Amino acid sequence: MPGLTEAQDTIVTEHGFRFVHHVRKGGVKAQPGDDVSVSVTTYIGDTLMATTWDMGGPRQINLFKKDELPEKVPAIYDGLLYMSEGDSATVLEAISDDVRPYIPAELQSQKDIRYHFKLWDIITAEEIAKKQAEMDKKFADVEKKMVKMTADYRDGKLKKKIDTKESGLKMIVENKGKGKQVGSGQQVKVHYYGCLPDGSMFDNSFQRGEKLEFRTAADEMIAGFDEGVQWLSHGAKAILIIPAKLAYGEEGTPDGVIPANSEIIFYVEVE
């Protein structure tokens, strides 16, 4: 891709980078604190150095709040603040003395790193805060449920609800879901909350706000979790009570969080 020409209208950004708009949709511009989805292609001269398309496509990044800016502000950060969803642009960053030693010999005559980028999506700081509040509430609800559930399990109050499989896996299906049953070798997404029988949580996906994705029957998960999910349908919610032999066995986890010979319990929601 050719570089910029002197005839193009160039803006000098707040931190001294040269910026040129190519496509301008005219919507609401990105603001500090927003999350944005952006694809970037990086050139020195006409030589392609890197592109996010080689990493699977657009990347989601957070735009620093003004009081959190690093000492060296990224050129793309400045450029994105001029852009709205659907815009594309170029920003040029002078090659600094600390970067130049890493530039290939044949490109040493070049003065700039050139970033061509497109802004695909903006998630505002308000939307991020709302999502975080929803995540916090969901986690609190699940945690409260599991504290009670493990107490009832220890007291023997759940015996009539438990379905024990031939493998020794115990299950309580709370919601059967309306989708098809999860199949062997299928890619699936699951929200989960894992704890010991005493109720102490060791891991969960709710606080991260991102479901666990894995392929069933591919040795990607402990045996009891893998089996339990395959007994469920898409949309199901269930409790998996996994014996040690289907979990972390006689050794437990290396960090000691799950002791040797420990039964473990998961609440799962299958997408």
Mean predicted lDDT score pLDDT of the chain: 94
Residues 36 and 80: beta-carbon distance below 8 Å: yes
Which position among 192, 193, 206, 225 bears the catalytic label?
192
Q: What is the reported pTM?
A: 0.67
DSSP 168: S
pLDDT above 90 for 7: no
Domains 11-123 and 136-270 share a fold: yes
CA angle 251, 257, 260 (to 5 degrees): 25
CATH code at 11-123: 3.10.50.40
Cα–Cα distance for residue pair 151/147, rounded to 1 Å: 6
Give residue for tokens 């559930």. Answer: 149
Residues 85 and 102: beta-carbon distance below 8 Å: no
Residues 116 and 1: beta-carbon distance below 8 Å: yes
Comparing C-alpha atoms, which of 164, 152, 176, 181 is closest to residue 237?
176
Which position among 239, 248, 258, 264 bears the catalytic label?
248
Average pLDDT over residues 189-193: 98
202 tagged catalytic = yes
203 tagged catalytic = yes
**Residue 95: both structure tokens together:** 């090659």
pLDDT tens column, 75-102: 999 999 999 999 999 999 999 999 999 9
Torsion sign across C-alpha atoms 110, 60, 63, 21: positive
Cα–Cα distance for residue pair 195/263, rounded to 1 Å: 9
Residues 40 and 116: beta-carbon distance below 8 Å: yes
Average pLDDT over residues 42-63: 92
267 tagged catalytic = no
Cα–Cα distance for residue pair 44/46, rounded to 1 Å: 6
* pLDDT at position 5: 47
pLDDT tens column, 233-259: 999 999 999 999 999 999 999 999 999
Q: Report domain 136-270's class.
A: alpha beta
pLDDT above 50 for 213: yes
Cα–Cα distance for residue pair 17/88, rounded to 1 Å: 16
Cα–Cα distance for residue pair 267/225, rounded to 1 Å: 10
Which position among 19, 77, 139, 266 bears the catalytic label?
266
pLDDT above 60 for 4: no
Amino acid at 239: I
The backbone torsions φ and ψ at residue 202, rounded to the nearest 5 degrees and listed phi first, read -115, -20
In the chain, the largest separation of any two C-alpha atoms, in whole Å, equals 79
Average pLDDT over residues 62-74: 93
59-62 and 35-44 beta bridge pairing:
antiparallel
User: Alpha helices of 15-124 — where are they, by DSSP H?
Assistant: 75-80
* pLDDT at position 8: 57
192 tagged catalytic = yes
pLDDT tens column, 157-176: 999 999 999 999 999 999 99
Give the start-to-end residue ranges of the domains of the chain: 11-123, 136-270
241 tagged catalytic = no
- 244 by DSSP, 3-state: which? helix
Residue 1: band (very low, low, confident or very high) from pLDDT cuts 50, 70, 90: very low
pLDDT tens column, 13-32: 999 999 999 999 999 999 99
pLDDT tens column, 123-144: 988 888 898 999 999 999 999 9
Average pLDDT over residues 141-156: 98
Residue 12 Cα distances to 37, 78, 93, 133, angstroms: 23, 10, 11, 38
Which position among 64, 95, 128, 202 bears the catalytic label?
202
